Amino acid sequence: MTADLAMMPAHQLVKLYKGRKASPVEATKAAVARIEAFNPQLNAFQHLDPDAAMRAARASEKRWKKGGKRFSDLDGVPITIKDMVLTRGMPTRMGSLATDADGPWTVDAPVAQRLREAGTVLLGKTTSPEYGWKGVTDSGLFGATHNPWKIGRTSGGSSGGGVAAEAVGMGNLAIGTDGAGSVRIPCSFTGLFGLKPTQGRVPLWPASSQGTLSHIGPMTRTVKDAAMVMNVIARYDARDPYSRRDDEEDYLKGFDKGVKGLRIAYSPNLGFVEREKIDRDVAAAVEAAARVFRTLGAKVVEDSPDLMGLDPRRILNAHWQSNVAVLVKSFSEDKRALMDPGLLKAAEVGANLGQEAVVTAINQRQQVAVILNQFLAKYDLLLTPTMPMTAFAVNENAAWGGDGVDIGWTPFTLTFNLTRQPAATIPCGLDRDGLPIGLQIVGAHACDTLVMRAAAAYERVRPIPAPPMAHQI
């Protein structure tokens, strides 16, 4: 029973709590058992505190026994949080040897605070590359995180620890951050659902070095679980100047309405990605997924936005590299000597961009956002591949043999960090090596619920599978 609890979706787990058929203590013990079994192979955690987790689980169990006294519908559900999210009582190292191990760790970021207020059981902090600088997960501080579908392959990044844990039941929920795809890349590579919400809907503090490119969202084994998490974390917080006081969305409202009658654009290459760079298995799986939406009653049309010669890869690189340059400059020379050479190289590129290049990128970002806004005024949703490829080898900074300084190998995800629109990924098949492929579902600004509604409709006919490793306990 406890092994089943670890892989159980959160929304099913809380039903067992309500019926007194399972308890938060049992669920937490199940998660800890899986951590002991799988973390040595996957290296998904930078910090674990099973004693604190059990104290939280026992307190939640008492609330459920009292009946009606629980803090939220996620009370007692085991969850993990990415290293880059400040969490009281747990170190936030940013994956960096240049950070101070001693803290103090006395303050919660908004998301950590909301999860604590909701009564979730915080198992620990998951691995990230240094300051989330790349789309894979390895660092000099914690080493490399592996993919549960195939040891030796990357779990993606920069939220790679969270998905590696989530995929095999080392927690029933996970939180990641996303500055160019860092929720969607790892979810695509490990076969999970992940949502990059509309920027500002989930408060982010302390401010990211990547500014409004950065988002924070759920990584889950079902779409409904993500909606439940959003109902907890997507609430106003004065520490984020982009947080909306009037945003009281119910992310489960209309959840089961399906996609019948929706106008959906399917874009195989988003109008600018070279077709030869998209793996043939990825292209075929995403095209097949688009056909599924037709069978569900949506009006699917192949169409792509006209970006008028603007390349989101170049625009994102200018933002990202210049932001990294400012970040690295804030460290002393001694601290910089401890940092990832790839991060330092990206910072050097950013420092040499020049004012004109950076300001041009800022203006071009706005142009891309307007184009995508207008495109999604014609359609309810947009479907694209999430990634052009599946998971490659660990300890590589980027796909196609890149050094990671150019983030252009993740073109489909980074585009919607520029536009701030909601974008989710859901598994849509496996490649010839048995590795997951992701379908990206994009909505207009603030249409997060519609994105999840469409993902849920797809999930009902194409359930999300677990990796074989998850069944080895």
Is 182 part of the annotated catalytic residue set?
A: yes
Give the Cα separation of 171 and 264 in Å (integer).
Answer: 34
Give the Cα separation of 348 and 320 in Å (integer).
Answer: 12
Give the Cα separation of 317 and 346 in Å (integer).
Answer: 9
CB-based burial, 425-442: b 16+ in 10 Å, e otherwise: bbbbbbbeeebbbbbbbb
Candidate list 182, 214, 243, 267, residue with the active-site label: 182
Helices within 123-244 (DSSP H only): 160-167, 184-190, 223-233
Candidate list 23, 29, 60, 82, residue with the active-site label: 82
Strand spans (E) along 155-270: 173-178, 193-196, 215-220, 263-266
Is 82 part of the annotated catalytic residue set?
A: yes
Name every residue whose Cβ is closer than 8 Å to that of residue 159 and which is 6 or more positions away in sequence.
Answer: 82, 126, 128, 137, 174, 176, 177, 178, 182, 183, 186, 219
CA triplet 278, 282, 285: central angle to 5 degrees? 145
Measured in whole angstroms, how far is the alpha carbon of residue 265 from the centre of its chain?
23
Question: Cβ atoms within 10 A of the Cβ of 50, count?
Answer: 16
Give the Cα separation of 93 and 78 in Å (integer).
Answer: 22
- For residue 2, the SS3 value is helix
Candidate list 60, 158, 159, 267, residue with the active-site label: 158
Contact (CB, 8 A) for 302 and 184: no
Residues annotated as catalytic (active site), given as ranges? 82, 158, 182
